[in-house]
Every structure is written in structure tokens, then in C-alpha cells.
């Protein structure tokens, strides 16, 4: 035989549930804070590679006016360098995904034009030693 329960004695959250929920919310908040903190950047360089071979290095910190760089890969490519970063401006590749990638400006970002075999990568030099997501 069942007893009638009108919902008066029902608890939605018990004390352990609230404790676990609090820990999850705290970890989430800490993760968002760490994700959006400004990161220390040293001297930023753009490495330009064709078929994996380094053909040019551009110091992004010393750019005062925008300019273009022509790169001859499997297809001709024009790169656009600005004080805000570097991007593919023109490419004769069929899909133009490299041009649509936009400007890259942060250490670790990259852009690639596969049909032209040209790649860009932002690297930071002279950084103070620090712990990152890979080294723990």
C-alpha cells in the first residue's frame, strides 16, 4: 500500500547535492577567469613557410603601416601585414578558406593555404618562463 505524498516533504536538493553544485560552479568560474585573463606576450613574429620551409619572418611589433608580401608557393599568395596582425589577402586557390580565415595576431595562432602550400604562424619570443596548458 502506498502512502499519499502531496509534495510537501519533497526536497529538490539535498545538502550533498548543493555541495557538489557549488564545487562545479566554483571550478567553472575559475576556468572562465583563467581563460579571459590577458596573456603576457613577448616580441611577436609571423613565420611564413612554403612547403614547410621557413621563407620569411616578420616582426609584428615593429609594423607601423600596413604593407603586402607576395609569396610564391604552388599558387601565388599575397599576405597583408598590419599593426594588428597578418592575414592572407589574396590567393588563387579555389575555396579561399585562407582569405576567409581573417587576421591572426596572437601567439600560437596559424593560418594555412593548402593548395598554395603556404602557412603562417604567430610565435612569441623573449617570453618570461611560465607554465602553460601543455606543461601543466
- The three-class DSSP label of residue 99 is helix
Whether residue 131 has pLDDT greater than 80:
no
Residues in the chain, total = 136
| 27 burial level (CB within 10 Å; 0-12, 13-18, 19+) | exposed
Is the distance from CB of 98 to CB of 84 less than 8 angstroms? no
pLDDT of residue 26: 95
Q: Would you give the distance in Å from CA 133 to the centre of its chain?
A: 13
Over residues 13-34, the pLDDT tens digits come to: 788 888 999 999 999 999 888 8
Amino acid at each position: 500500500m502506498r502512502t499519499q505524498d502531496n509534495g510537501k516533504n519533497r526536497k529538490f536538493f539535498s545538502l550533498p547535492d548543493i555541495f557538489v553544485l557549488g564545487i562545479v560552479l566554483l571550478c567553472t568560474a575559475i576556468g572562465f577567469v583563467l581563460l579571459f585573463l590577458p596573456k603576457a606576450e613577448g616580441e611577436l613574429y609571423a613565420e611564413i613557410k612554403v612547403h614547410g620551409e621557413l621563407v620569411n619572418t616578420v616582426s609584428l611589433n615593429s609594423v607601423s603601416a600596413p604593407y603586402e608580401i607576395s609569396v610564391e608557393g604552388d599558387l601565388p599568395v599575397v599576405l597583408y601585414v598590419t599593426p594588428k596582425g597578418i592575414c592572407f589577402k589574396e590567393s588563387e586557390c579555389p575555396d579561399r578558406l585562407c582569405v576567409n580565415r581573417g587576421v591572426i595576431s596572437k601567439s600560437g595562432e596559424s593560418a594555412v593555404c593548402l593548395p598554395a602550400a603556404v602557412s603562417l604562424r604567430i610565435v612569441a619570443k623573449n617570453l618570461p618562463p611560465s607554465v602553460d596548458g601543455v606543461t601543466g
